[in-house]
């Protein structure tokens, strides 16, 4: 816990001084209780930047191959939940669900991986699985500028302005009641993901992924 907050302070300071970090809407993140924080993903900076944008400890779902050896153990201690990307990872998702039910904050990137061009990608159903299993609120978050500061393939961080915008918690209980049948489970998961991505786009003032726009008009 101490190590987490030391890292939090260091990242917050460096990001503020070097990248003019601006955070808005942090009050939308509940101080207690299980919650999902769902954000867009375009850079390796997204995890530390989003983490230092909120004032509570969080756990982060991320690719299993991000870390290995001793570094993997350290990152697990810091809150990393390793996930296999090629399929729904039962072990990783069960851990995320367990942590949310235990009253913790879990960060998920609904796109399932980094955007190669910085634009929002359609969300995958994984976030819907966790919401349906826990009934937890979802706080959408938009990360702006992280792609410019460290795009995929870049070796060094560029000093570019970065901002984090948190939105009001989203409640999917009505949608889950509306689609409460075994035959509609997959559709429900995807619908939740699409609605979240649409809200993230609104927070950033950017174009929503095509799948999200279709879900709103349907």
pTM attached to this predicted model: 0.90
SS3 22: strand
Please count the structural domains in the chain.
1
Instruction: Tell me the C-alpha distance between 17 and 19, whole Å.
Output: 6
**Alpha-helix residue ranges (DSSP H) falling in 54-172:** 70-78, 90-101, 126-134, 146-149
Q: Is residue 197 part of a domain?
A: yes
- Can you tell me the mean pLDDT for 39-64? 94
CA distance 58 to 84: 20
Residue 89 lies in a domain: yes
Spell out the residues 6+ positions from residue 4 whose beta carbon is closer than 8 angstroms to its own.
57, 78, 79
| Residue 6 covered by a domain | no
Residue 122 and residue 106 in contact, taking contact as beta carbons nearer than 8 Å: no
**145 in a domain, yes or no?**
yes
Question: CATH number for the domain including 211?
Answer: 3.40.1130.10
7 is a domain residue: no
Could you read off the pLDDT of 19-49 as tens digits, one per residue?
A: 999 999 999 999 999 999 999 999 999 999 9
Q: Which of 31-35, 72-76, 100-104, 195-199 bottoms out in mean pLDDT, i.e. has the lowest?
A: 72-76
* 5 found inside a domain: no
Residue 216: the pLDDT is: 38
- In contact, 115 and 121? CB cutoff 8 Å: yes
| Owning domain of residue 147 | 19-217
For residue 11, tell me if it sits in a domain. Answer: no
pLDDT at 218 over 70: no
Query: What sign results for the dihedral spanned by CA atoms 118, 203, 96, 59?
Result: positive
Question: In this structure, is residue 10 part of a structural domain?
Answer: no
Residue 182 has pLDDT above 90, yes or no: no
State the Cα–Cα distance between residues 112 and 122, nearest whole angstrom. Answer: 9
């Amino acid at each position: 816990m101490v190590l987490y907050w030391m890292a939090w302070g260091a990242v917050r300071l460096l990001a503020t001084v070097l990248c003019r970090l601006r955070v808005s809407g942090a009050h939308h993140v509940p101080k207690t209780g299980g919650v999902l924080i769902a954000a867009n993903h375009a850079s390796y900076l997204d995890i530390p930047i989003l983490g230092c944008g909120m004032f509570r400890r969080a756990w982060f779902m991320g690719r299993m191959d991000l870390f290995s050896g001793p570094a993997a153990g350290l990152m697990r201690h810091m809150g990393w939940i390793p996930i296999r990307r090629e399929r729904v990872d039962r072990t990783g998702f069960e851990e995320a669900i367990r942590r949310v039910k235990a009253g913790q904050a879990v960060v998920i990137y609904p796109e399932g991986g980094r955007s190669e061009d910085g634009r929002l990608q359609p969300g995958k159903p994984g976030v819907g699985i966790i919401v349906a299993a826990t009934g937890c609120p979802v706080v959408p978050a938009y990360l702006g500028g992280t792609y410019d500061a460290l795009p995929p393939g870049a070796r060094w961080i560029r000093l570019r302005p970065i901002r984090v915008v948190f939105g009001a918690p989203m409640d999917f209980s009505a949608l889950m009641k509306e689609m409460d049948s075994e035959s509609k489970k997959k559709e429900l998961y995807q619908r939740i993901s699409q609605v979240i991505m649409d809200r993230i786009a609104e927070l950033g003032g950017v174009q929503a992924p095509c799948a999200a726009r279709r879900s709103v008009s349907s």
